[in-house]
C-alpha cells in the first residue's frame, strides 16, 4: 500500500495520477483533509482517507497498512513543523514501512527561509527510526506563472535577484520523481537533491517571455527595498513581500542554481524546459 498525504493539492494530485499508471488503484491511498474534494479518485478505485495534519487523531488510521508513505510538506509557516511531526508520530504508530518526504534543495545548508522547517523534519524522521528517502525539491517553474503573465502585458520582469540563476523544474517533474521512488526499490537512506537540468537568470526569463509574447520584455533589477515597495504597491501583504524579497536575495547568492542532474536521472528523461512551461502559461 502506498499512502500519499496532501493528495488533494497540486503536487499530490500529480503523484496520484503517476501512481495510477504503475500501481493498481486499490493499492493507493489518498490521505486528505477533505475527502469530498477527491471524490473522483474514489470513483476510480483509489482509497480515500481523511487525514488532517492539525488533527493528529485522524492520522494513524489514514496511514494504516502503508508500506510506503509520501509525506508532502505542509505550506503554513509557523505550523509546518508541528504538522510534520504529527504525521511522523502517526507513521510510527501505524507501523509504516518507509517514509518519503518532500524537502527543499540543500535543506541542511540552504539560506532559504523555508529550509529550517524542512531540515528539522528530516531530523525528526531520522530520529523516528523509519527507513526514509528525502526528495529535496528545488524551485517550481510554476512559481513564475503570474510574473510571466504580468511581464507579457507590461514588458517588464521585476526582481532583486541580480544575475542569480534558478534551476527550476515543473511540478510534474517533481511528482514523477516521487512516483519513481515510491514504486521502485533501492532508495532507502537516500537524499536526492532535485532541480532542473538548466539554470536560468531573470534576464533570460524576460527574454523568453518576450519571445513567446512577441514583444520586448526586459528584466528590471531593483534593490531589495525597491522590490519590496513594488510588491506592496501591487497589492501583496508586507509579510509576503518580505518572503519574496528574501527568495530573490538567496537566488542572487546562488541558493537555487545547482544542476546536479539527479532529477532527470530519477525520472528517466530531461526535465521540462523553461520555454515549454512559459509557452503553456502564456498561450492559455
**Has residue 28 been placed in a domain?**
yes
Span 56-71, average pLDDT: 95
DSSP structure class, residue 271? P
Residues 127 and 16 in one domain: yes
Coil vs helix vs strand at 99: strand
Residues 118 and 236 in one domain: no
Q: What is the CATH number of the domain that holds 133?
A: 3.40.50.720
Checking if the pLDDT of 78 tops 80, the result is: no
Residues 152 and 87 in one domain: no
Burial of 39 (0-12, 13-18, 19+ CB in 10 A): exposed
Give, in order, the Cα–Cα distances in Å from 204 to each of 148, 153, 166, 217: 12, 17, 10, 10
**Has residue 124 been placed in a domain?**
yes
DSSP per-residue string spanning 225-247: HHHHHHHHHTT--HHHHHHHHHH
Residues 93 and 149 in one domain: no
**Has residue 75 been placed in a domain?**
yes
- Measured distance CA(38)–CA(10) in Å, rounded: 12
Longest dimension (CA), the chain: 58
Residues 154 and 209 in one domain: yes
Query: Can you give the residue range of the structural domain that contains 12?
Result: 2-137
Residues 85 and 153 in one domain: no
Residues 110 and 217 in one domain: no
**Has residue 67 been placed in a domain?**
yes
**Has residue 188 been placed in a domain?**
no
Q: What is the mean pLDDT of the chain?
A: 95
The count of other CB atoms within 10 Å of the CB of residue 188 is 13
Residues 81 and 208 in one domain: no
Residues 155 and 278 in one domain: yes
The pTM of the whole model exceeds 0.75: yes
Span 63-91, average pLDDT: 92
**Has residue 191 been placed in a domain?**
no
Cβ distance 254 to 109 under 8 Å?
no
**Has residue 179 been placed in a domain?**
no
Checking if the pLDDT of 76 tops 90, the result is: no
- Confidence band (pLDDT; 50, 70, 90) for 75? confident
Q: Could you report the per-residue pLDDT of 225-276, keeping only the tens digit for each?
A: 999 999 999 899 999 999 999 999 999 999 999 999 999 999 999 999 999 9
β-bridge pairing 165-166 and 190-194? unpaired
Helical axes 274-282 vs 145-154, angle rounded to 10°:
70
Residues 114 and 154 in one domain: no
Q: What is the CATH number of the domain that holds 207?
A: 3.90.25.10
Span 150-163, average pLDDT: 96
Give, in order, the Cα–Cα distances in Å from 148 to each of 23, 70, 106, 154: 36, 31, 27, 10
The count of other CB atoms within 10 Å of the CB of residue 216 is 10
Considering 137, 155, 184, which residue would you say is the last residue of a domain? Answer: 137
Checking if the pLDDT of 77 tops 80, the result is: no
- Measured distance CA(123)–CA(117) in Å, rounded: 10
- Measured distance CA(200)–CA(192) in Å, rounded: 21
Residues 97 and 147 in one domain: no
Residues 117 and 207 in one domain: no
In degrees and rounded to multiples of 5, residue 230 shows phi and psi of -65, -40
Checking if the pLDDT of 209 tops 80, the result is: yes
Please count the structural domains in the chain. 2
- Confidence band (pLDDT; 50, 70, 90) for 145? very high
Amino acid at each position: 500500500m502506498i499512502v500519499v498525504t496532501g493528495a488533494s493539492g497540486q503536487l499530490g494530485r500529480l503523484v496520484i495520477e503517476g501512481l495510477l499508471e504503475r500501481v493498481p488503484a486499490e493499492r493507493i491511498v489518498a490521505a486528505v483533509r477533505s475527502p469530498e474534494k477527491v471524490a473522483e479518485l474514489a470513483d476510480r478505485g483509489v482509497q480515500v482517507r481523511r487525514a488532517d495534519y492539525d488533527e493528529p487523531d485522524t492520522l494513524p488510521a489514514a496511514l494504516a497498512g502503508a508500506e510506503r508513505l509520501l509525506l508532502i510538506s505542509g505550506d503554513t509557516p509557523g505550523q509546518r513543523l508541528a504538522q510534520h511531526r504529527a504525521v511522523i508520530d502517526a507513521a510510527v504508530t501505524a507501523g509504516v514501512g518507509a517514509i518519503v518526504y518532500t524537502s527543499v534543495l540543500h535543506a541542511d545548508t540552504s539560506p532559504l527561509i523555508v529550509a529550517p522547517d524542512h531540515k528539522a523534519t528530516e531530523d525528526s524522521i531520522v530520529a523516528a527510526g523509519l527507513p526514509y528517502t528525502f526528495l529535496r525539491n528545488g524551485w517550481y517553474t510554476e512559481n513564475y506563472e503570474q510574473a510571466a503573465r504580468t511581464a507579457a502585458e507590461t514588458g517588464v520582469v521585476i526582481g532583486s535577484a541580480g544575475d542569480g540563476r534558478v534551476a527550476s523544474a515543473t511540478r510534474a517533474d517533481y511528482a514523477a520523481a516521487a512516483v519513481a521512488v515510491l514504486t521502485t526499490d533501492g532508495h532507502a537512506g537516500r537524499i536526492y537533491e532535485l532541480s532542473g537540468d538548466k539554470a536560468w537568470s531573470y534576464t533570460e526569463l524576460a527574454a523568453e517571455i518576450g519571445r513567446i509574447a512577441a514583444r520586448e520584455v526586459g528584466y528590471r533589477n531593483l534593490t531589495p527595498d525597491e522590490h519590496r515597495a513594488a510588491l506592496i504597491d501591487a497589492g501583496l501583504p508586507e509579510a509576503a513581500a518580505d518572503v519574496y524579497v528574501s527568495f530573490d536575495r538567496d537566488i542572487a547568492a546562488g541558493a537555487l542554481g545547482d544542476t546536479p542532474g539527479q532529477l532527470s536521472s530519477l525520472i528517466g528523461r530531461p526535465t521540462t524546459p523553461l520555454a515549454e512551461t512559459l509557452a503553456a502559461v502564456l498561450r492559455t
